[in-house]
């Protein structure tokens, strides 16, 4: 199950912030609890940017 999901990690400290599986579009802004960096994930049609 978890192997099928994409991982989103903090670009600064590499902490796993969440795992996701999405169909369609998604935009998320999240703050890392470890290093406090705010990151944005944009998913369009199953590909992340």
Give first-to-last CA distance, the chain, whole Å: 23
- What pLDDT digit, counting tens, does each position of 1-49 carry? 567 899 999 999 999 999 999 889 999 999 999 999 999 999 987 556 5
Domain ranges in the chain are 2-48
Q: Report d(CA 49, CA 42) in Å as an integer.
A: 6
Q: Residue 37 phi/psi, 5° resolution?
A: -75, 140
For residue 47, the model assigns a pLDDT of: 58
For residue 22, the model assigns a pLDDT of: 87
């Amino acid at each position: 199950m978890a192997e099928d999901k994409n991982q989103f990690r903090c670009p600064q400290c590499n902490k796993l912030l969440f795992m996701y599986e999405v169909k369609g579009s998604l935009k998320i802004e999240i703050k890392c609890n470890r290093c406090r960096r705010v990151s944005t994930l944009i998913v369009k049609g199953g590909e992340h940017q």
